[in-house]
């Protein structure tokens, strides 16, 4: 059973590095520890081309897996900043996003602006489906654009960076005299303590691939990713210079104690992200792995919760790590009939005001 679980995880991890899309808060296909935001460095705003600058109104389509209400501030900003370009916002469920976008691009169609994971950008750039955005890329740090670069050209502009840790209910820890862990083994021991008290240690919505996969990249594996060798693994893997077999095995073997020790349970496979959040927020679990995007939702459900966040841990005592990296990117469809208008929208997003609206 253990070998089967690890095989599934290895396959999932490899798929993540190639195809992964962002989750509710935006995910990066290759985990980076203590990553800084892919901030705009203050470059000059690129001028929109003549088609976008003309007086005629143009309608373009922007596809994303984030719901429209989470993007409303940016959409309102763009409506004022580029009034002659109307945006038709298309929300596509994350679970079907890649399939739908792939099908449309193969048919020579698809949205004018596509929000893509780094893996998606690499795949579509190789196939010639995306337009280069080198001029606009100068507005961003190399840390942000590096994930969206193929053969020296940038094919997407980085969106919001993300980080994730372990939310925990401070009151539950204090009331049960449970101390903060400093290693992965201590974390497992803490979970067992809660179980002995009849308290669910961790709420997890494993109906999605995301929670368990990011957890396996954060616990223990982050210890490797923070080494001199490990820091280049994400880029090396994306470019075919590194493989997971023989590199991540020992870390996944150790991490699998999350399963063998019963921290992750089979009933969690039937729970989605929102159900897990509800369980944690209403006192049904001591911990919940997530990021800032869920803070408001947790506090709205339980305003009196004493909420804090702990990092992920390795095998040796340390301060631990938050897992994260640059989020999804904004790419322009090479076959768009309104490419100039799409570029004008990306130019507006690339201003400080555009970034603030996106945040």
The full set of domain ranges for the chain reads 8-18+162-325, 38-161+327-358
Confidence of residue 289 (pLDDT cuts 50, 70, 90): very high
The Cα–Cα gap between 84 and 163 comes to 36
241-271 tens-digit pLDDT = 999 898 889 999 999 999 999 999 999 999 9
Q: How far apart are CA 17 and CA 31, in angstroms?
A: 9
Cβ 161 vs Cβ 328: under 8 Å: no
CATH class of 8-18+162-325: alpha beta
- Where does the pLDDT of residue 229 fall: very low under 50, low under 70, confident under 90, or very high at 90 and above? confident
12-25 pLDDT per residue, tens: 333 343 333 333 33
Confidence of residue 99 (pLDDT cuts 50, 70, 90): very high
Nearest to 61 by CA among 106, 104, 124: 104
Which pLDDT score is estimated for 334?
Answer: 96
At the second CATH level, the architecture of 38-161+327-358 is 3-Layer(aba) Sandwich (3.40)
Residues 142 and 125: their CA atoms lie apart, in Å, by 18
pLDDT band at 42 (very low <50, low <70, confident <90, very high): very low
Q: What is the pTM of this model?
A: 0.69
**Lowest pLDDT segment from 25-29, 75-79, 164-168, 321-325:** 25-29
Q: Of all residues in the chain, what percent carry a pLDDT higher than 90? A: 57
206's tokens: 């494993």
Q: Phi and psi (nearest 5°) for 43?
A: -70, 165
186 by DSSP, 3-state: which? helix
* Structural tokens at position 264: 């992750």
């Amino acid at each position: 059973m253990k070998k089967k679980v690890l095989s599934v995880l290895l396959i999932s991890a490899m798929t993540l590095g190639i195809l992964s899309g962002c989750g509710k808060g935006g995910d990066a296909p290759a985990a980076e520890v203590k990553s800084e935001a892919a901030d705009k460095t203050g470059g000059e705003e690129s001028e929109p081309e003549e088609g976008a600058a003309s007086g005629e109104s143009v309608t373009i389509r922007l596809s994303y897996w984030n719901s429209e209400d989470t993007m409303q501030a940016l959409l309102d900003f763009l409506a004022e900043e580029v009034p002659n370009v109307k945006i038709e916002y298309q929300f596509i469920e994350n679970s079907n996003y890649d399939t739908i976008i792939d099908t449309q691009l193969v048919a020579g169609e698809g949205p004018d602006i596509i929000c893509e994971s780094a893996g998606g950008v690499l795949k579509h750039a190789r196939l010639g489906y995306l337009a280069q955005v080198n001029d606009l890329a100068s507005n961003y740090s190399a840390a942000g654009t590096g994930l969206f670069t193929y053969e020296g050209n940038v094919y997407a502009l980085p969106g919001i960076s993300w980080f994730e840790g372990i939310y925990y209910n401070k009151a539950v820890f204090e009331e049960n005299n449970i101390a903060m862990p400093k290693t992965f083994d201590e974390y497992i021991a803490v979970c067992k303590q809660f179980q002995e008290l009849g308290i669910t240690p961790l709420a997890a919505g494993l109906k999605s691939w995301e929670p368990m996969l990011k957890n396996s990249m954060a616990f223990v594996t982050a210890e490797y990713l923070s080494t001199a060798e490990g820091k280049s693994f994400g880029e090396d893997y994306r470019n075919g210079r590194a493989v997971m077999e023989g590199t991540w095995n020992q870390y996944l073997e150790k991490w699998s104690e999350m399963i063998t020790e019963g921290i992750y349970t089979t009933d969690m496979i039937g729970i989605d992200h929102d159900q897990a959040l509800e369980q944690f927020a209403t006192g049904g679990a001591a911990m919940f792995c997530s990021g800032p995007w869920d803070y408001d939702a947790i506090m709205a459900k339980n305003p009196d919760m004493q909420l804090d966040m702990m990092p992920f841990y390795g095998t040796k005592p340390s301060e631990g790590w938050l897992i994260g990296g640059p989020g999804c990117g904004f790419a322009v469809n090479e076959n768009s009939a309104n490419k100039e208008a799409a570029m004008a929208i990306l130019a507006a997003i690339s201003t400080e005001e555009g970034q603030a609206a996106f945040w």
